[in-house]
A = this chain, B = another copy of it.
Amino acid sequence: MLQPPPAEPGAPEAEIDTPALILDLDAFEANLDRMAALLAPTGTKLRAHAKTHKSPVIARLQMARGAIGQCVQKVAEAEVLAWGGIPDILVSNEVVGARKLARLAALAGIAKVAVCADDAPQIDAIAAAAEAAGVRLPVLVEIDTGAGRCGVAPGPDAVALARRIAASKHLIFGGLQAYHGSAQHKRTPAERQALIAGAAEGARRTVEQLRQQGLDCPIVGGGGTGSFEFEAGSGVFTEIQAGSYAFMDADYARNLDAAGQPVSTFRHALFVLATVMSAPRPGVAVLDAGHKAVAVDSGLPVVWQRPELRYVSASDEHGKLEAGSETAAPKLGEKLRLVPGHCDPTVDRYDWYVGVRGGRVACLWPVAARGAMA
């Protein structure tokens, strides 16, 4: 069953039941505006990643500011977006299995849906699903730009797959998927820039080889919140796939800018609101938000604007805080905002965004694709 919303519009933030996923709308909108402003002069388009937000509402706000569509990682996410009215969706990932491919092809009646492949038999399976549904599906070839996850090597291997796609009357060659995941959290801009230069070189070489074979490459997609400025400036990438920029988590905020300072391009907009549920000893407080309320895979959460407090350990339903001094410890019942270490899997734990502005609940939006893993 779904969980009830933790507050109603109009309620003061202090009355939101916890743990709750709250979205500071001013910061969130500033982030959307900032990304649009940064990309506008580059000519590179934004295809924001819905794996982060899992919400057709947020997707539409991104598209109202110029995003040309959305990325997703899963067919189930594509379904939620398509059913929610999003017209242009790229599954920036491989999709394996006849059942999933049939579901993907079935969406093509209500939205433009594209998918990635890195394997010849997989291309044939996508073609079979498209044929069965009576549609033509755009397929992008994923190249491994250095992250060592999915994807074929740039160059001839990628060209061979592109030719196979283009040769199918049920498919359209959609371009190259060239995301470099492990570049995103390299701490210095020099490291990120060097890795993306390598990714861009592989993509550029592949595009040239495709052209020599008479294949146009409509999309070269990649780039995340940590690296998008380098992809956008490369002259090769046509689409940026950033997602976290809308929310900013604690781990992205550990990236450094050229001056060696934490990056300040985007503001923290997403928080887990938590309550002190026990204050058992001086200088210690226990929050009602642990592993089930906030993802810890990229580090523990950070207490927002309370540097004297440290979230030192999580258990399933508890988060232990230590204060710099006994007097600094929060009181029983006090509510605190936590900046999650990692926004994407944190969002996926909740049924509702609670949008706040000026200290009050301004809106409730469902995390419509929560748990959409298949």
Contacts and interface: CB of A to CB of B under 8 A. Distances in A.
Contacts of A1: 2, 80, 366, 368
A95 B275 CA distance: 10
Interface string A95-126: 11101100000000000000000110110000
Contacts of A342: 291
Interface stretch (A164-172, A194-202, A214-222, A293-301): A293-301
Given A316-B345, A317-B51, A373-B292, A278 B118 contact: yes
Contacts of A74: 317
Interface in A153-209: 181
B373 A286 contact: no
Interface in A51-88: 51, 73-74, 76, 80
A144 interface: yes
A299 B99 CA distance: 31
30 contacts: A1-B2, A3-B371, A6-B374, A17-B97, A17-B374, A19-B373, A20-B374, A96-B276, A96-B278, A96-B288, A118-B278, A119-B280, A121-B332, A148-B320, A149-B280, A149-B286, A149-B315, A151-B278, A152-B280, A291-B295, A291-B342, A291-B345, A292-B345, A292-B348, A296-B297, A297-B297, A348-B349, A349-B349, A349-B371, A351-B371
Contacts of A51: 316-317
A370 B289 CA distance: 15
Given A19-B374, A96-B276, A118-B280, 16 more contacts: A1-B2, A3-B374, A6-B374, A19-B373, A20-B374, A73-B316, A93-B277, A96-B333, A119-B278, A121-B332, A122-B332, A149-B280, A151-B278, A152-B280, A316-B345, A317-B373
A151 B280 contact: yes
B366 A332 contact: no
A297 B280 contact: no
Contacts of A371: 2-3, 349-351, 370
Q: How many copies does the complex hold?
A: 2
A327 B27 CA distance: 51
A256 interface: no
Contact of A17 (B99, B276, B295): B99
Residue from A80, A151, A291 with most neighbouring chain B CB atoms (10 Å): A291
A contact residues, range: 35 or more
